[in-house]
Structure 1
Amino acid sequence: MPVRRGFIAGAGLAALGLAGLALYGSGLMGGNGGMASGPCAGSAPALTRIETAAKGDVAGMQAPKQSKPAPDLTFKGPDGTETTLAAMKGRLLLVNLWATWCAPCKAEMPALDRLQAQMGGKDFDVVAINVDTRNLDKPAEWLKQAGITHLPFYADPGGRVLPAVQRHADSAGLPTTLLIDGAGCTIGVMKGGAEWSSPDGLALIRAALGR
């Protein structure tokens, strides 16, 4: 069954209880015209591949006109100690922000789990970061109840990651997903949910890897 598409505004929706509200922003993404320059110039070929592969169940993935360094994110790893996004350089990353109060986020988690099971390894990983700041035992318990077994548990109870990614991606809500290449450069942004483990999703990741 396809994952329910949706996008939840990040500011105050938990209090309002509008977990199912779908809000899609226009953003800065779309097209990859112009001369590539700067620290992410080497990522330019991947942008063309992403544009071509973003279709069907992952048609919402948008490549930027020019790639730029991913935001400097710090969050807690599976062992509870702090880690950084920069420490994960060297492989393709699908960085997904989710929360237990975000219905579209929870709807796509099984597909992200399957994607990690099928393609996760030395060249690629799904980094799903929980952004709940209350009831901090709830996210890990929800993952267990939902049968999510292949995704390591990353979390940002301090609330630093969400605003940083929102600024970077020009995104106002959840779920938001960044596709980051091995050089640490953003080569795609998805605003809303997707069926990540579908044939379209797998083809997108292979294209990003240049396969």
Structure 2
Amino acid sequence: MPAAWRWALVLLIAVVALAVALWPREHRDLRTNTATAVRGGPAAASDGERADAALAECPAQSTPAPAAGPLAGITVGCLRDGRPLDLGAALAGRPALVNLWAYWCEPCARELPALRQYAARPDALTVVTVHSDPDEAKALARLRDLDVHLPGVQDGDGRVRAAVGAPAVLPVSVLVRSDGSIAKVVVRPFDTADDIAATVAGELRVGA
């Protein structure tokens, strides 16, 4: 091969490599983000960030009976104060809606206000949000900006997702019976409080 052709080939390879290196990478794949969440990481929030979010207290165990079901023994951190919480024990004896979300998830951001509206109804289930990404501080900031103050827990390593067998998408809502068993894993965002209430009534026969 003539020297001129060799140099042209080298130049072409260099240009292609440079173009690949500079190509925009703004798209965030949901499964990539979820994989990061499952790995977990040290991103604890400060006391000031917790205070600014003004979340409701995490549920406390209401029955002396031992927790049962897939959430029994799953320890997460309460977003309000950072304390460890046995989620199965906290929900034992009451039906609940456990919502998996992340700060970067836009469908989650649209769904969270509907969950807030549903939770305010007198016949609503206990609603607990589960932040499924390691960055706890960004979760608190997102909830503050959305004016959502539901009880929430931090689960950066994806233990709740794994326990209930939820797929690697967000948001996911888990309907939990009072005995700790799972009635339904809802793999879609809820549109309205009425949508949530109808799904709860259909799956748990609670509310109307």
Higher relative contact order (CA 8 A, sep 6+): 1
Q: CA deviation at 1:118?
A: 1.2
Q: CA deviation at 1:128?
A: 0.8
**Structure 1 gap segments, 5+ residues each:** 1-7, 17-67
Name the structure 2 match of 1:204. Answer: 199
- CA shift in 2, pair 1:160/1:204, >3 Å: closer
Q: What CA distance in whole angstroms lies between the structure 2 residues aligned with 1:185 and 1:159? A: 19
Q: What CA distance in whole angstroms lies between the structure 2 residues aligned with 1:79 and 1:96? A: 19
Q: What CA distance in whole angstroms lies between the structure 2 residues aligned with 1:133 and 1:86? A: 21
Q: What CA distance in whole angstroms lies between the structure 1 residues aligned with 2:112 and 2:33? A: 20
- What is the correspondence of 1:29-68 to structure 2 with a 5 Å cutoff? none
Name the structure 2 match of 1:53. Answer: none
Q: CA deviation at 1:179?
A: 0.4
Q: What CA distance in whole angstroms lies between the structure 1 residues aligned with 2:75 and 2:138? A: 21
Within the candidate set 161, 164, 188, 2:184 is matched to 188
**Structure 2 gap segments, 5+ residues each:** 1-27, 37-67
Runs of 4+ in 1 over 4 A off after TM superposition: none
Superposition CA RMSD, Å:
2.8
TM score, norm. by length of structure 1: 0.59
Query: In structure 2, what residue type is equivalent to 1:142?
Result: R
More helix by share: 2
Name the structure 2 match of 1:19. Answer: none
Alignment pair present for 1:110 and 2:113: yes
Name the structure 2 match of 1:37. Answer: none
TM score, norm. by length of structure 2: 0.60
Q: Is the Cα contact below 8 Å between 1:120 and 1:126 reproduced in 2?
A: no
Name the structure 2 match of 1:172. Answer: 168
Identity %: 31
Name the structure 1 match of 2:155. Answer: 156
Query: In structure 2, what residue type is equivalent to 1:202?
Result: A
Q: Is the Cα contact below 8 Å between 1:129 and 1:155 reproduced in 2?
A: yes
Q: CA deviation at 1:164?
A: 3.2
Tell me, what secondary structure is at the counterpart of 1:164? helix
Q: CA deviation at 1:83?
A: 1.0
Q: CA deviation at 1:154?
A: 1.4
Q: Is the Cα contact below 8 Å between 2:103 and 2:139 reproduced in 1?
A: yes
1:11-38 Cα offsets, whole Å, 9 max, x none, are 313799xxxxxxxxxxxxxxxxxxxxxx
Q: Which has the larger radius of gyration?
A: 2
Alignment length, in residue pairs?
145
